[in-house]
Amino acid sequence: MSFLNDIEPLKQSALADLNAASDLPSLEQSKGAWIGPQGKFTGLMKQLGSLPKEDRPAAGKLINAAKIELEAALSARREEIELKAAQPKEPTDWTLPGRRRAVGRLHPLTQVTDDIVKAFRKLGFVVADGPEIEDEYHCFDALNTPADHPARDLQDTFYVGNNSKPETSNSRLPLLRTHTSSVQIRVMKSQPPPIRIIVPGRVYRRDNADATHNPTFHQIEGLYVDKGVTVGDLKGTVEAVFKDVLGSDVKLRFRPHYFSYTEPSMEIDFTNALVKKLGKDWLEIAGCGMVHPQVFENVGYDPEVWTGWAFGFGIERIAMLRYGITDIRLFYENDVRFLRQF
């Protein structure tokens, strides 16, 4: 009977020891002392063999019940200690509103590009894309700008794998595209008319960086090819888009110009309240024209059947006007103080 009478006091001592543990190491130490391989309750189990046969079942039942109770107390105390360790050291008012993670936002150039694309989508245009590393055929030759053409000098670019422009032309020589017009060629070669596309993307030219120029910038170009397309279609489309993007007070004027891949060709000037703030009456904004018949022949279209227009303008220019930015380089510096304004 003395053996059975010792079980309950030992259990109470073990419970008190476990509940008194202040951290996980001391709790593990108490566990080992009572229910570990060398623990006191483990020792009691080993003594069962010395009891009379008729006392063993009752003693084993009491020891097992006490051990189960101790394991439950051990688990509960471990949770209490872990929860306490996870709580702040300083008093906390849990009724206060939580700290919200700062939400990012689109880059201003992305915002402007999206708005331009939305304006053209309303008119039935779809977005086309192409490689930034192009070849001379798609970037120049197919656009009626052969190697000896003076317009090449105005669009000098970066040739991949060469430190400078090669002395001889190679229509498949890789280069960084100078405009997204190369995508127009790829689209026309891949499908028959009618075509109505816009092509936003990054382009490259060997310009010296200053407040209005950068070797890397963004363009968006458009192409509309169908039967009976006229300059009137071009003017109406461009006017609708610029009013959508820059405000209903936009006024446009078209000046004769020269581009090797359009004929006739025009520069587009515009004016509105934003231009007036700059102290100017008109500001050049884009180039456009009717697709040159030679370009159609280069892609396999019959210029006697199909007509079309094309245009192109810089996305940075639109963003600078919209937001009153005076230095194009701010777009590329990744200064969050600048970017958070948009």
pTM value?
0.67
Please report whether residue 275 resides in a domain: yes
Reported as half-sphere exposure (CB side, CA atoms, 13 A), residue 160 has a value of 13
Q: Are residues 41 and 165 in the same domain?
A: no
- Model confidence at 109, pLDDT cuts 50, 70, 90, reads very high
Q: Are residues 180 and 302 in the same domain?
A: yes
The structure tokens listed for 53 are 């046969």
Is 331 within 8 Å of 109 (Cβ atoms)?
Answer: yes
Angle (deg, nearest 10), helices 24-34 and 56-86:
180
Please report whether residue 100 resides in a domain: no
Over the stretch 210-241, which tens digit does the pLDDT of each residue have? 888 899 999 999 999 999 999 999 999 999 99
Report the CATH number at residue 310: 3.30.930.10
CA-CA-CA-CA torsion for 312, 315, 316, 321, nearest 10 degrees? Answer: 100
Q: Are residues 82 and 145 in the same domain?
A: no
Q: How far apart are CA 42 and CA 265, in angstroms?
A: 98
Q: 149 or 133: whose pLDDT is higher?
A: 133
The structure tokens listed for 209 are 């960086």
Phi, psi of 331 (to 5 degrees): -65, -25
Q: How far apart are CA 107 and CA 77, in angstroms?
A: 52
* Look-up of token digits 């002392």: 33
Q: Are residues 74 and 154 in the same domain?
A: no
Q: Are residues 257 and 128 in the same domain?
A: yes
Longest dimension (CA), the chain: 118
* Look-up of token digits 């906390």: 92
Q: Are residues 183 and 318 in the same domain?
A: yes
Q: DSSP for 217-252?
A: EEEEEEEEEETT--HHHHHHHHHHHHHHHH-TT-EE
Say which residues have a Cβ less than 8 Å from residue 289's Cβ, sequence separation at least 6: 234, 257, 259, 261, 262, 263, 264, 265, 266, 309, 310, 311
Q: Are residues 123 and 256 in the same domain?
A: yes
Q: Are residues 190 and 148 in the same domain?
A: yes
Over the stretch 175-194, which tens digit does the pLDDT of each residue have? 899 999 999 999 999 999 99
Q: Are residues 153 and 265 in the same domain?
A: yes
Per-residue model confidence (pLDDT) at position 304: 95
Q: Are residues 213 and 257 in the same domain?
A: yes
Is 316 within 8 Å of 266 (Cβ atoms)?
Answer: no
Of 52, 86, 120, the position where a domain reaches its end is 86
Over the stretch 269-309, which tens digit does the pLDDT of each residue have? 999 988 888 888 998 999 999 999 999 999 999 999 999 99
Mean pLDDT, residues 69-97: 83
Of 33, 51, 86, the position where a domain reaches its end is 86
Q: What residues does 256 pair with on adjacent strands?
A: 266
> 195-204 and 133-135: which strand pairing?
unpaired
What is the percent of the chain where pLDDT is above 70? 93
- Model confidence at 73, pLDDT cuts 50, 70, 90, reads confident
Q: How far apart are CA 268 and CA 235, in angstroms?
A: 10
Domain housing 288:
108-339
- Of residues 187, 163, 161, 160, the one with CA closest to residue 176: 160
* Look-up of token digits 């050049």: 284
Please report whether residue 256 resides in a domain: yes
Per-residue model confidence (pLDDT) at position 280: 87
Please report whether residue 7 resides in a domain: yes
How many residues can be counted in the chain?
342
Please report whether residue 103 resides in a domain: no
The amino acid occupying position 58 is A
- Long-range pairs, 156-165, Cβ under 8 A, ≥24: 156/205, 156/206, 157/204, 157/205, 157/206, 158/204, 158/206, 158/215, 160/133
Please report whether residue 95 resides in a domain: no
- Please count the structural domains in the chain: 2
Q: Are residues 58 and 120 in the same domain?
A: no
Of 51, 86, 121, the position where a domain reaches its end is 86
Please report whether residue 116 resides in a domain: yes
CA-CA-CA-CA torsion for 232, 235, 241, 242, nearest 10 degrees? Answer: -160
- Indicate if the pLDDT at residue 162 is higher than 60: no
What is the percent of the chain where pLDDT is above 90? 46
Phi, psi of 134 (to 5 degrees): -110, -170
Please report whether residue 101 resides in a domain: no
Q: Are residues 141 and 9 in the same domain?
A: no
